[in-house]
Homo-oligomer: A and B are copies of this chain.
Amino acid sequence: MTGFRIDRRSLLVAAGGLPLMASAASAATPKAQGQPLAGKFNLPDPPKERMRWAVVGLGSFAVGQMMPGFVASSHARMTAFVSGSPDKAHDLGARYGVSKFYDYSTFDRIADDKEIDAVYIALPVALHAEYTIRAFKAGKHVLCEKPMASTVAECEAMIAAARAANRQLGIAYRVHFEPNNMDAIKRLRAGEIGDLRYFSGEAGFVANPDYPPHKWRLRKALAGGGSMYDIGIYALNAALWAVDEAPVSVSAVYSTPANDPRFKEVEGGVEWRLRFPSGISAQGASSYCWTYATRQRFFGAEGSISMDPASDYNQINTTMQHADLTPVTLRAGNPAVQFSAQIDAFCMAAAANQPHQTPGEMGLRDIRIIQAIYQSADADGQIVRL
């Protein structure tokens, strides 16, 4: 299946070891001389050794965030575009040096394309299952955008297809590869704020029905759900990452504004609570009716960590406080690397035949919980056992 390979050196460099070194020489006079490289660099693999990707769906997120992520990655390169807009695909192809094109009717032919190792799916949610399964049938790895799919059944079918194809399925929870979120969880696990006692988080933005990338998000048949599916999943997933237990029950209510024409099919807002076996709870809210905000707070027995924004593309602000109430600003890296870091992590996992860090099972878990949230909210807050 290969065509790409990630050598031992790359894996070492990614793990923080082995800087690139060359012959050293003392610069004694103002004469140009070779010097060894000092420091560690996450250098890209040679193009021929990188995993080759088809991008499926050329929307604003794929073009604005993920394509630069592929370009900046060490282990990946784009070799094919799949789109229903041939002009757009060819224009982007010329710009990115991509020369293979498929549309949705010819998609299955990627099975015969030796220059595609993996597929990144950035279609509306309702199409995730179909294209993921078709990609597995074509023998490719799949990194699929979040939320994983419209229904639990679809998620299960996707996982089964991955297994049948012996290929890896990752869900694009980019925040798991964002340095500041990783650092916050690492500190939590290391006990820097003591035992975790509570999580609260919010994620929302104002859905604008006139803005094309928002438009399909307001249609249940395409989006699978509303604010909770699209943006609320960030706070939910963060809670689950932090607590690291399977929740036992959920309760939730809607806060969709009455008579708002945007929300005929999907909810405009939902507030939720998860309970965990250890006795703690997490509470959160999502909305299509607030100004953009992504926030999360971890309350520990000995301190707390707050993030605001918590899941932005370009800025993540994190502070940690202890009993003395003096916030320490934490800066673990530039958030913008999350896109290439996610891609590289998937490449390395697939090359090692290991599950991706945010696998299909995580996507399924979250959809299952969101469905329980909807079930509770449909019943005006009644508790739903998981």
Contacts and interface: CB of A to CB of B under 8 A. Distances in A.
Given A299-B202, A314-B333, A381 B251 contact: yes
Interface string A69-100: 00110000000000111111001101111000
Interface residues of A, number: 125
A343 to B, nearest CB: 14
A290 B96 CA distance: 44
A299 B23 contact: no
Nearest to A44: B95
Contacts of A127: 30-32
A64 interface: yes
A308 interface: yes
Contacts of A336: 334, 336
A84 B368 CA distance: 59
A23 B89 CA distance: 11
Given A22-B87, A39-B60, A41-B64, A327 B325 contact: no
A145 interface: no
Contacts of A273: 251, 253, 271, 273, 283, 381
Contacts of A96: 44
A232 B21 CA distance: 30
B206 A301 contact: yes
A290 B323 CA distance: 9
Given A84-B32, A251-B251, A46 B95 contact: yes
Contacts of A194: 291
Interface in A310-363: 312, 314-315, 321-331, 333-336
The count of identical subunits is: 4
Interface stretch (A112-120, A136-144, A158-166, A210-218): A210-218
Contacts of A327: 328-329
A170 interface: no
B202 A38 contact: no
Contacts of A94: 46
A57 interface: yes
A58 B20 CA distance: 11
Contact of A300 (B291, B330, B380): B291
Interface string A184-217: 0000000001100110101010100001110110
B295 A297 contact: yes
A303 to B, nearest CB: 5
Nearest to A39: B60
B202 A200 contact: yes
Contacts of A33: 84, 104
21 contacts: A20-B63, A30-B124, A32-B57, A32-B104, A38-B60, A39-B60, A39-B213, A44-B71, A198-B285, A200-B285, A257-B279, A275-B381, A292-B325, A293-B304, A314-B334, A315-B325, A327-B329, A329-B329, A334-B334, A334-B336, A336-B336
Given A27-B222, A43-B95, 9 more contacts: A21-B88, A32-B127, A34-B86, A202-B297, A287-B299, A291-B301, A315-B331, A326-B330, A334-B334
